[in-house]
A and B are shown apart, each in its own frame.
Chain A
C-alpha cells in the first residue's frame, strides 16, 4: 500500500458495467515526507474519500477485494483515509 493525496475525480459515462456507481479518484502518490512522488494514477474509492484528503491505496488484483462479491475491473483502490502519520 502507498500514501497518496486525492487530486481530483474522473467522470466517465461510458464505462464497464461493473464500475457503475463507483467513484474514480485521481491520486498523487506521496513520499514518507509528504512530497509528491511518482506519476499520478486513477483509483476506485471504497471509503468515501474526497479531493484534498490524504489516503492510502492498494495496487494489483487485491484492489477489487473491497467490493466483494462484486469484481470491478480495477488495479488500484483507495482503502483508507489517513488522519496523520509520524516519522520516527
Chain B
C-alpha cells in the first residue's frame, strides 16, 4: 500500500458498467516526509475521503475490487483508509 494525498476528483459520465456509482479521486503518492513522488493515481474511494486528506491506497486489482464491493470490476487502485497519523521512529 502507498501513502498519498487526495488532490482532485474525477467525473466520467460514460464508463464501464462495473464502475457506475463509484467515486473517483486523484491521489498524489507522497513520501514519509510529505513530498510528492511519482505520477498521480486514479483511485476508487470506499471510505469517504476528501480533497487534501492523507490516505492509504491499495494498488492491486482484487483488493481494489473488494474495497469497491464488486467482483471482477475493472479497477486497480482504491483508497482503503484515511490516515490519522504515521509514527516513524528513525
Expressed in whole angstroms, the Cα–Cα distance for A4 and B49 within the complex equals: 29
Chain B: interface size category? 20 to 34
**Are B32 and A61 within 8 A (Cβ)?**
no
B56 at the interface (CB under 8 A from A): yes
Q: Is the interface of A mostly helix, strand, loop or mixed?
A: mixed
Flag if A43 contacts B80 (CB, 8 Å).
no
Closest chain-B Cβ to A70's Cβ sits at a distance in Å of 11
In which size bucket is the chain A interface?
20 to 34
Partner of B47, one of A9, A11, A16, A24: A16
Binding site for B on A (CB under 8 A): 7-16, 18-19, 24, 26, 39-43, 51-52, 59-61, 63-64, 71-76
- 15 further interface pairs, Cβ-Cβ under 8 Å (given A12-B83, A19-B80): A8-B87, A10-B83, A14-B48, A15-B80, A16-B47, A16-B80, A26-B88, A39-B31, A42-B3, A52-B89, A61-B63, A63-B60, A73-B63, A73-B64, A73-B80
